[in-house]
């Protein structure tokens, strides 16, 4: 029997044991909060401004940080590019930060090159592995160093550029698969400015989109989506109208009031047809004054254009008249028009419409702010901080040629543009790189390119690093500042930091060119350091007050007439009946987003497919080929053959097959690998990086996979019943 | 003060870009289910963007319809819950009590908008992806129904801040994650009880309509029809 006294004794002992039994254990789950870390209050979130590094648009973000962890990325309301808005890719920056497959420490190759077998090493060992070949190269053949990166903006570009110059090598290639080369050369020809235009959508009344993709994957999708919203609904009495020409009903095309499908690769002819009507009927002051173009435009009457493009002559005439009547109006060309073999012609023809409408340098029109002005104090070096957004394809090809010739002893790779994945395989990037004796890669993830390196150095993501940025459009010269919003998760060092340290160790010229102790110091010196202006700017996200003077488009009076070169695309139309239309994926962009589960699981707006890629065909074309939705097909071009699933797009031209880029990874981690095949393997390796460069044939085949589509779970609905 | 939260979605501005979907994923600890489960139509997204085809080539057109929970005034889901796990809260929102839910899925069956999603498994966040999880919300376990809450955690926070400062919630002070991020500004959120709020004004637009109005569910999400042509 347990009496009262015993019960109390036992109870006391138990209580004692419970109370003090835990004393010898180290608390691992509860946070002892006697002296909390700086800026750390339980339950209270803090917000840090930085830049979104998920694509080159350079949107400003604010990151919600709670208990030292980034919880959510949101648009920075003060940032001129995106004003508080952010796209799906930007939101997913968090998953890149906390990705389970992120490289957490330096790794050196432990097997054959390309085998993917690496052993982790310390930073000391990694740096000594890096410095050996660097020192030897500097002493013996400084010109044998190659750097392949994505276009680097801000002081990161300055550090990389100065490093290469001081090292004595001029082989620096910046590769961006969606670099708007065609648009740049068209702008140089038509406006006399080799730069990206700023389209003032918000104040336009009429927008002509020629395969435009400004709402999804263009130069600055969030900026232009916001402007598009303002164009539609922010004015009391005006609603901007959008007309879209193109071979495919894309997400941007569905936003248009009128979608007029044209044959693939004929966007420029439609534009010239509209120009013809504008000049012939003297519809605007500028087009009446451009009478001397009448001869050149003579061959592009709407009837002639109809034969070539399939757009009805009366539609062309009606759109021309509406465009001229509803001024200010804009004409924009998108990736689909710019990345054909004849892209520069298409872009120039579209740009001509802006000139004929008299909308260059006016509100609701096209302007050319002087971007490099923000870095004017650097003089000739300003081009390192605000590089031209070109793709660098020419430089890449030349570099590959030299690699094969054994000109390089060492290559430095960096950036997310993944040339082994985004270049046509016939260029043989992998093989060329294998001729370089020592390859070092700066990366957050192993991918098709970085897994070819001898030494992989882990870098912080954009949310963990110092830096600055100058967005390509929408900013009026504003500089964005980046700061680490959280403590770096892994033992990472940024590429500029490593280059600065390497320069110090090399001594001499390089050490003089990079006189800072760290990249952070470089940024602080450039912007006045802590305490001053920079601290305020860091809180706001950058220097936004300044406005830059707009460069005048110098040559609008005597514009050259764009000449069509008529470069046929690859493949015999008999054997390969469909033109292949490749487009950047809304979620995966050039493929860099493919390892982020949120993006893989976001349904595509057109096909509603997730986790896998597909080929879009018109249901009528598919019926002719005996294909049903979801069927497996082989897609064959003269250059390659892949398989994919069929997805119907009733708004795609019947002679076109379209595929999104971004899937088809083989070495980008478990979320990205094995989700279809890479459509870039279908492309020939031409003079230009052309995505619309080949014809294909489709044939039914059996695939072991299925295409998961998430279209309307309510199934039985028709949109008419709901609205 | 009593609130009548409502959302307006302007289809004339919506581009179908899906930024709302991923913003919601990040805000509300929504699990990633993988390809196999997605193929069974089990996506856990609280907001989806439906795409409908209209017409045939060359007049084919797509219509986008972002669909969060409609937060119906007369909600069909609430009536059928045997355990009172889904109920009408003080602001008129359809709230879920996860701890009460026994997973009958009657509510999902009765929802004409198919916005309720069910946790078929205990979904895992591989480390360190779990570092991103919002501390304001639970991670739901297997066998529990869940759905859009109009970001109730943000509403609660705004109420607390306002109460601390001894004032009413200001118009525009609280917005769900989807509305906040929407690039073209197609979504608007506010309090219909406030006669001067932006949403009260916006919903006087003759373009307004609600999904399946004939069912009499009185949704709190109101759509504005797409327009055609230049001018108004």
Q: Per the CB < 8 Å rule, is B180 touching A74? A: yes
What pLDDT does A19 receive? 52
Residue B98 falls inside a structural domain: yes
Chain A CB contacts of B55 under 8 Å are 650
Confidence at A249, pLDDT banded by 50, 70, 90: very high
Using alpha carbons, list the distances in angstroms from residue B84 to A286, A349, B94, B96: 69, 64, 11, 9
Q: What is the mean pLDDT of residues A684-689?
A: 82
pLDDT for A685 equals 81
Between A244 and A13, residue with greater pLDDT: A244
Instruction: Output the domain CATH number for residue B109.
Output: 3.30.70.20
Cα B232 to Cα B230: distance, rounded to the nearest angstrom? 7
- Residue B231: inside a domain: no
Mean pLDDT, residues B68-79 taken together = 94
Alpha-carbon span A679 to A421, nearest angstrom:
10
**Which of A75, A326, A651 is the closest to B230 by Cβ?**
A326
Cis peptide before B58 (omega within 30 of 0): yes
Average pLDDT, whole number, for chain A? 88
* pLDDT digits 0-9 by tens, A630-657: 999 999 999 999 999 999 999 999 999 9
Place of tokens 């001081």: A166
> Do the Cβ atoms of B18 and B48 come closer than 8 Å?
no
pLDDT tops 70 at residue A16:
no
Using DSSP, state whether A693 is helix, strand or coil: coil
> How many Å is the Cα radius of gyration of chain B?
18
Residues B132-179: tens digit of each pLDDT: 999 899 999 999 999 999 999 999 999 999 999 999 999 999 999 999
CA distance, residue B155 to nearest chain A CA (Å)? 16
Q: Is the pLDDT of residue A625 over 90?
A: yes
Residue of higher predicted confidence among B123 and A558: B123
Percent of chain B with pLDDT over 90: 79
Nearest by CB to A254, from B62, B114, B211: name it.
B62
Please list, in sequence order, all residues whose beta carbon lies within 8 angstroms of the beta carbon of residue B116, skipping any fewer than 6 positions away. Answer: B69, B77, B107, B108, B145, B146, B147
CB A713 to CB B27 under 8 A?
A: no
Answer yes or no: is pLDDT of A439 > 90: yes
The domain tally of chain B equals: 1
pLDDT of A3 reads: 73
Which residues does chain B have within 8 Å of residue A719's beta carbon, measured at their own beta carbons?
Answer: 52, 54, 63, 65
Q: How far is A226 from chain B (nearest CA, A)?
A: 4
Question: Taking CB atoms and an 8 Å cutoff, what residues of chain B touch A586?
Answer: 17-18
Position with higher pLDDT, A554 vs A532 = A532
Any domain includes B67: yes
- For residue B19, the chain A residue with the least C-alpha distance is A88
> What pLDDT score was predicted for residue A18?
54
B63 in reach of chain A (CB within 8 A): yes
Q: Do B18 and A603 touch (CB under 8 A)?
A: yes
Helices and strands, counts by H and E, chain A: 26, 28
Lowest mean pLDDT among A158-162, A432-436, A553-557, A589-593: A553-557
Q: What is the pLDDT of residue A265?
A: 87
Residue B232 belongs to some domain of the structure: no
CA distance A34 to A447: 44
Contact A204, A240 (CB under 8 A): yes
Among candidates A695, A699, A698, which has minimal Cα distance to A579?
A695
Residues of B with Cβ-Cβ distance to A94 under 8 angstroms: 26, 132
Mutate to test the interface with B, among A587, A645, A651, A673 (most CBs of B within 10 A): A651
Give domain status of residue B93, yes or no: yes
Categorize the per-residue pLDDT at A568 as very low, low, confident or very high, splitting at 50, 70 and 90: confident
Chain B residue with minimal CA distance to A42?
B135
Domains of chain A and any CATH numbers:
107-178+389-459+494-515 (3.40.50.740), 181-369 (3.40.228.10), 578-709 (2.40.40.20)
Least confident segment among A67-81, A520-534, A665-679, B34-48? A520-534
Tell me the average pLDDT across B190-205. Answer: 92
Q: Determine the distance from the C-alpha atom of residue A617 to the mean position of all C-alpha atoms in its chain, rounded to a whole number.
A: 25
| Both tokens assigned to B2 | 């009593």
Residues of B in contact with A222 (CB under 8 A): 19, 183
Range of the structural domain that residue B142 is part of: 5-224
For residue A84, the chain B residue with the least C-alpha distance is B181
How large is the C-alpha radius of gyration of chain A? 28
Q: Is A708 in Cβ contact with B39 (below 8 Å)?
A: yes
Q: Is B22 at the interface with chain A, CB within 8 A? A: yes
Count helices and strands (H / E) in chain B: 7, 10
Contact B50 A711 (CB under 8 A): yes
CA distance A474 to A202: 12
Return the sign of the alpha-carbon dihedral for residues A301, A306, A307, A309.
positive
Tell whether B107 is covered by a domain. yes
Top pLDDT among A568 and A243 is at: A243
Contact criterion met (CB < 8 Å) for B25 and A260 = no
Q: B230 in a domain, yes or no? A: no
Token couple for A333: 């060309």
Checking if the pLDDT of B231 tops 70, the result is no
């Amino acid at each position: 029997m347990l009496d009262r006294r015993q019960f109390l004794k036992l109870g006391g002992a138990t209580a004692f044991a419970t109370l003090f039994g835990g004393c010898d254990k180290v608390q691992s789950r509860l946070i002892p909060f006697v002296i909390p870390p700086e800026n750390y209050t339980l339950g209270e979130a803090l917000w840090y401004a930085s830049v979104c590094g998920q694509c080159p648009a350079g949107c400003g973000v604010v990151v919600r940080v709670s208990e030292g962890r980034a919880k959510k990325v949101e648009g920075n309301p003060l940032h001129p590019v995106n004003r508080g808005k952010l796209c799906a890719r930007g939101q997913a920056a968090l998953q890149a930060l906390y990705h389970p497959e992120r490289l957490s420490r330096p790794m050196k190759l432990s097997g054959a090159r390309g085998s993917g077998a690496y052993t982790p090493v310390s930073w000391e060992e990694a740096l000594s592995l890096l410095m050996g070949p660097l020192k030897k190269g500097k002493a013996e053949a400084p010109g044998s160093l190659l750097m392949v990166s994505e276009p680097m903006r801000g002081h990161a570009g300055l550090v990389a550029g100065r490093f290469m110059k001081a090292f004595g090598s001029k082989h620096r290639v910046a590769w961006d698969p969606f670099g708007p080369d065609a648009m740049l050369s068209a702008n140089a020809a038509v406006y006399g400015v080799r730069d990206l235009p700023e389209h003032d959508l918000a104040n336009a009344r009429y927008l002509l989109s020629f395969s435009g993709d400004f709402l999804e994957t263009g130069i600055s999708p969030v900026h232009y989506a916001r402007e598009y919203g303002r164009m539609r609904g922010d004015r009391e009495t005006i609603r901007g109208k959008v007309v879209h020409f193109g071979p495919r009903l894309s997400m941007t095309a569905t936003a248009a009031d009128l979608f007029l499908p044209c044959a693939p690769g004929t966007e420029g002819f439609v534009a010239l047809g509209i120009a013809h009507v504008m000049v012939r009927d003297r519809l605007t002051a500028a087009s009446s004054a451009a009478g001397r173009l009448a001869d050149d435009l003579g061959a592009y009457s709407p009837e002639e254009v109809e034969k070539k493009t399939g757009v009805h002559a009366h539609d062309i005439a009606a759109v021309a008249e509406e465009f001229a009547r509803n001024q200010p109006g804009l004409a924009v060309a998108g990736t689909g028009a710019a990345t054909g073999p004849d892209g520069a012609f298409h872009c120039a023809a579209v740009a001509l419409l802006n000139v004929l409408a008299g909308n260059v340098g006016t509100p609701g029109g096209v302007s050319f702010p002087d971007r490099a002005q923000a870095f004017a104090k650097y003089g000739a070096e300003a081009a390192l901080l605000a590089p031209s957004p070109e793709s660098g394809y020419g430089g890449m090809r030349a570099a590959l040629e030299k690699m094969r010739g054994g000109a390089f002893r060492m290559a430095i790779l960096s950036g997310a543009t993944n040339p082994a994945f985004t270049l046509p395989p016939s260029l043989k990037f992998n093989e060329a790189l294998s001729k370089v004796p020592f390859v070092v890669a700066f990366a957050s993830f192993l991918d098709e390119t970085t897994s070819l390196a001898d030494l992989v150095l882990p870098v912080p993501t954009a949310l963990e690093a110092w830096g600055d940025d100058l967005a390509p459009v929408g900013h009026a010269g504003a500089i964005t500042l980046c700061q680490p919003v959280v403590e770096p998760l892994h033992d990472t060092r940024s590429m500029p930091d490593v280059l600065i340290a390497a320069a110090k160790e090399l001594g001499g010229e390089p050490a003089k060119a990079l006189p800072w102790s760290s990249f952070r110091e470089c940024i602080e010196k450039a912007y006045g350091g802590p305490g001053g202006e920079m601290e305020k700017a860091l809180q706001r996200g950058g220097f936004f007050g300044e406005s830059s003077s707009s460069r005048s488009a110098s040559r609008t009076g005597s514009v050259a007439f764009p000449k069509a070169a008529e470069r046929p695309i690859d493949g015999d139309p008999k054997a390969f009946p469909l033109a292949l239309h490749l487009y950047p994926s809304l979620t995966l962009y050039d493929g860099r987003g493919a390892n982020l589960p949120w993006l893989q699981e976001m349904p595509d707006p057109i096909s509603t497919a997730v986790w896998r890629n597909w080929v879009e065909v018109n249901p009528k074309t598919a019926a002719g080929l005996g294909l049903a939705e979801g069927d497996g097909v082989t897609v064959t071009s003269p250059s390659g053959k892949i398989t994919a699933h069929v997805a119907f797009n009733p708004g795609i031209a019947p002679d076109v097959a379209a595929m999104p880029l971004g899937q088809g990874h083989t070495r980008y981690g478990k979320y990205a690998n094995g989700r279809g095949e890479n459509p870039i393997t279908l492309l020939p390796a031409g003079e230009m990086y052309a995505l619309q460069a080949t014809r294909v044939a489709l044939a039914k085949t059996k695939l072991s996979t299925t295409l998961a589509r998430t279209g309307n779970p309510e199934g039985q609905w028709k949109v008419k019943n709901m609205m | 003060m009593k609130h009548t939260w409502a959302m307006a979605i302007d289809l004339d501005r919506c581009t179908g870009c899906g930024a709302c979907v991923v913003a919601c994923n990040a805000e509300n600890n929504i699990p990633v289910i993988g390809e196999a489960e997605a193929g069974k139509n089990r996506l856990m997204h609280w907001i989806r963007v439906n795409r409908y085809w209209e017409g045939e080539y060359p007049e084919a057109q797509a219509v986008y319809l972002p669909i969060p929970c409609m937060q119906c005034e007369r909600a069909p889901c609430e009536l059928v819950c045997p355990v009172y796990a889904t109920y009408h809260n003080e602001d008129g929102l359809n709230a879920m009590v996860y701890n009460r839910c026994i997973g009958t899925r009657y509510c999902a069956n009765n929802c004409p908008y198919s916005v309720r999603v069910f946790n078929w498994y205990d979904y895992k966040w591989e480390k360190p992806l779990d570092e991103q999880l919002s501390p304001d919300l639970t991670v739901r376990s297997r066998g529990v129904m869940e759905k859009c809450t109009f970001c109730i955690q943000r509403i609660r926070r705004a109420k607390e801040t306002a109460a601390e400062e001894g004032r009413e919630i200001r118009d525009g002070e609280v917005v769900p994650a989807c509305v906040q991020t929407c690039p073209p500004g197609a979504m608007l959120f506010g309090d219909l009880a406030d006669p001067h709020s932006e949403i009260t004004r916006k919903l006087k637009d003759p373009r307004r309509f609600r999904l399946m109005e004939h069912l009499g569910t009185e949704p709190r999400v109101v759509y504005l029809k797409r327009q055609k042509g230049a001018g108004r």
